Structure 1
Amino acid sequence: MEELLLWYMYITCLATSVKRKRKPRSKWSRHWLLKKRLSHMELLKELSNEPADYRNYLRMTEDTYQELLCLVSPLIERQSTVMRNPISPHERLSATLRFLATGRTYKDLEFTTLISKPSLCKIIPETCKAIYMVLKKFIKFPSTTSEWEDIATDFEDKWNFPHCLGSIDGKHIRIVPPADSGSYYYNYKKTHSIVLMAIANANYEFIYCDVGTNGRISDGGVINNTVFYKRLVEKKLNIPERQPVTNSTRELNYVFVGDEAFAMRPDLLKPFSRATLTNNRRIYNYRLSRARRVIENTFGILASRFRVLYTAINMDVDNIEWVVLACCALHNFLRKQSATYAPPDVFDRENTSEGVTVKGLRCDAEKMHHLQRRSGGKTLEEAKKVQNEFCTYFNGEGSVPWQDKFALDV
């Protein structure tokens, strides 16, 4: 035993003595990186004369960019030292926005921004966090009954779905898995991911975002782990009480809408199963899908504008969460600030005369499915009762002239 211990100590000492030493840095920076006249700062100056190209480059107009720069500069500005000047907030923000817009690698961005890859590894996550911190006020989760009622009014006016509080869905964000993570992030699509669970209002704006749950989770575990769902179950969201529908004496619950992925509750509705469809239930499914499609369009616009969400993001998972949250906050910010960010042709829309849905320019192939969780007992019975009440309403006084045409395709 003592002999083995001596051999172990000898091998350990030997390995330590031959451990490779870090190669000393031969120079402070590569010469071409110091030539700032080559960077995309000069390109941005030229693009000021081409508004459409400027908007395509950074996903926003120059005025909107300057407004955002003023907001984030206090958080990303660095002090000058006797050794060198810092990378300016303008360079940090523009490089980060270009990363979000394209999903290009740090090495690729290095050649256009003239910021070294090691610096970009720090700058981009820090700037994403700063963007979210200054723009998170644009992701406003309702806290009062009147705020919920305002959202429900918008859904009724725009999507003919009364008492709807939001459209819920999830999206897998592909990642390069951390070392030694095994199958922890491996999902049913045979990729590694974390999940963005979100709620959108009738205007394609996020009112709630939760990101970070590993993509392996299923059976409803994703939404069950959110603060939103816990407060929903505990009835702490100040959701309005059951009330009569506008221009009707019929009382209906206030509800969220989702797809088959979620367990149904009296305050969270999903479609009827295809195996049990009748004509009335087809109409209900169509009317529900009109409201639910809002979140799918929102995800599609988000990913098409910020193409980093189409790539496998190669960062620490904590930093990826900041990237995703920054994209969501930017989406809401640009929806309010810029009419050109999401023009009408990017959304799915209906041709009511022909009974067909026209797909918008958004392209979202990353919808999340297979998160089903069984629910039973009294809650499920109450949920089925609410579902049938909405079904009766949509086939009665709440019907719209074109619903029979679209119901055939449901």
Structure 2
Amino acid sequence: MALLTPVQRLHLMNGLMMVQQQHAANTLTVVHLLHVRRQACQQQRRRYWVREWLIRRPLYGMYEKLMGELEREDVAGFRNFIRMEPAQFYELLQTIGDRITKQNIWFRKPLEPGLKLSIAFRYYAEGDSYHSLMYSFRVAHNTISKIVLEVSSAIVAELAVERNGSFSTPWAPLVANTCTSDVRPRGDHCTTITRAFMAHVDAEYKFMWIDIGTAGSHSDAQVFNHSELKDAIDNGVIGFPNAAPLPGDDKNVPFFMLGDDAFALRTWMMKPYSTQNLEHDDRIFNYRLSRARRIVENAFGILASRFRCLVPTMHQTPVTVVQIVEACVCLHNLMHMWTQVRYPSMPTMRTRTTKWFLVLGGMVGRSTM
């Protein structure tokens, strides 16, 4: 056998080293898989199918005891507890009950729809942690996390109504705003994701259209420019009200949207004058625009005050947060319709200078909730 040259011996040694490295890697992979399998086999079995104190829910649970007492003795307390009257609660329960009812099986009785709705409403009202709700309602915290998403999805599916076509009345203009809410998804590492919340609010503080999910780092103009609302306006799908005369005048004046300095001036959008070298009429215009801005600011304030879960950082996944926000908006509109509460509306802000009245059609801005 001929002797190998130095170059051939070097290639042979490199090949042997590669084979040994691959063998070592395969060995480590097999050892890791065996370790994982051994851990799975040694994993401790569940000590309880359900904890004993949770089984005593019918005797001491908040839904079975406290809410019954509030309904009989203190209706105002019931309203403060879940943000609506008993009659409204049961009407909504009848509306979405079929969507949140589970099939009754022989080895486990499902939770009542009323209990699920109460847990979700209590979370909307105060934003309590799931563990805190667990000790109050005697339902496991992991079950509560599923209940909140299930009820929120049912509310949105049953109550959300798309608004198509033109505005129905002159005093249902576009009043839009963006609001940022911190979302911290569950996971091994803490990551805060900020999402923008843009809404179309009418003059009576009811939300007519919302858009959630745009990155919070985007500016107001970016959020609006990438929204379906702007595309619908540009394409003529959503039309503005027909031009109408101002009070005390017979000339028709068109309606406009209002925006701040971040937005581009368009034929259907007004923005304030620059703050430098303002004349008297320009200052009046900026003042009227600021008063119109108050409508949407108040709408977001009412929503956050009624549903406190929207105020702090929300620790659910982004998908769950979107469903929760949409459900709160639907409930806000529903309760507004039930109670017929009329907050100070836009017609009460008519100005003495009629030439500025046309800009009270709406606005787009930012608010941090």
CA deviations over 1:1-56 (Å, ceiling 9, x no partner): 22222222111111121123243212201110111121111100011110111111
| Distance of aligned partners of 1:288 and 1:142 in 2 relative to their CA distance in 1, 3 Å threshold | farther
Residue-by-residue CA offset, 1:359-408 (whole Å, 9 max, x unaligned) = xxxxxxxxxxxxxxxxxxxxxxxxxxxxxxxxxx97854479xxxxxxxx
Q: What secondary structure sits across from 1:266 in the alignment?
A: coil
Which residue of 159, 171, 178 corresponds with 1:170? Answer: 178
In structure 2, the partner of 1:285 is 286
CA distance in 2, matches of 1:394, 1:306: 33
Describe the shift of the 1:266–1:169 C-alpha distance in structure 2 as closer, same or farther (beyond 3 A): same
Q: Deviations over 1:100-119 (max 9, x none)?
A: 11111111110001110111
Instruction: Say whether the 8 Å CA contact 1:60–1:338 is kept in structure 2.
Output: no
Q: 1:143 to 1:219 in 2, by over 3 A?
A: closer
- Counterparts of 1:114 and 1:272 in 2: how far apart (Å)? 58
1:323 is aligned to: 324
CA contact (8 A) 1:107 1:117 kept: yes
**Would the aligned equivalents of 2:285 and 2:356 in 1 still touch at CA under 8 Å?**
no
Aligned 8 A contact 1:169 1:259 in 2: no
61 and 278 in structure 1: CA distance in 2 versus 1, 3 angstrom threshold: same
Question: Which SS does the other structure have where 2:217 is aligned?
Answer: coil
Distance 2:230 2:260 in 1: 16
Match of 2:123, SS state, is: helix
Alpha carbons of 1:330 and 1:219: their partners in 2 closer, same or farther (altered >3 Å)? Answer: closer
Matched residue, 2:13 = none
Say if 1:195 and 1:215, in contact at 8 Å, map to a contact too: yes
Is the 8 Å Cα contact of residues 260 and 270 (structure 1) preserved in structure 2? yes
SS at match of 1:323: helix
C-alpha distance in structure 1 between counterparts of 2:85 and 2:179, whole Å: 28
CA root-mean-square deviation: 2.7
Matched, 1:103 2:103: no
Is 1:5 matched up with 2:13? Answer: no
DSSP 3-state at the match of 1:174: strand
Cα deviations by residue, 1:196-233 (Å, 9 ceiling, x for unpaired): 10011110111111111121222622122221111112
Gaps of 5+ in 2: 1-17, 358-369
Equivalent residues of 1:283, 1:394 under 8 A apart: no
Take 1:121 and 1:396, find their aligned partners in 2: how far apart are those partners? 54
Q: Residue 15 of structure 1 aligns to which amino acid in structure 2?
A: H
User: Gaps (5+ residues) in structure 1?
Assistant: 156-164, 186-191, 353-392, 401-410
Q: How does 1:320-359 map to 2 (within 5 A)?
A: 320-339=321-340
Aligned to 2:49: 28
Query: Structure 1 residues 240, 10: CA separation in 2 closer, same or farther (over 3 Å shift)?
Result: same
Partner secondary structure for residue 223 of structure 2: helix
1:107-146 pair list within 5 angstroms: 107-137=131-161, 141-144=163-166
Deviations 1:96-140 (A, max 9, x none): 000011111111110001110111111110100111111113xx5
Aligned counterparts of 1:61 and 1:52: Cα–Cα separation in 2: 8
Query: Match for residue 69 of structure 2?
Result: 46
Give the drift of 1:322. Answer: 0.4
What's the counterpart of residue 305 of structure 1?
306
CA distance in 1, matches of 2:276, 2:335: 42
| SS in structure 2 at match of 1:311 | coil
Report the TM-score, using the length of structure 2 for normalisation: 0.82
- 1:137-168: CA deviations, max 9, x gaps? 3xx525236x1xx1x2x37xxxxxxxxx2211
Letter in 2 for 1:46: E
Q: State the alpha-carbon separation in 2 of the partners of residues 27 and 178 from structure 1.
A: 25
What is residue 16 of structure 1 aligned with on the other side? Answer: 33
Counterparts in 2 of 1:276 and 1:6: CA distance versus 1, 3 Å: farther
Distance 1:399 1:224, change over 3 A: closer
Residue 263 (structure 1) aligns with: 264
User: In 2, distance between residues paired with 1:223 and 1:399?
Assistant: 24
Q: Which residue of 2 aligns with 1:403?
A: none
8 Å CA contact retained: 2:117, 2:151: yes
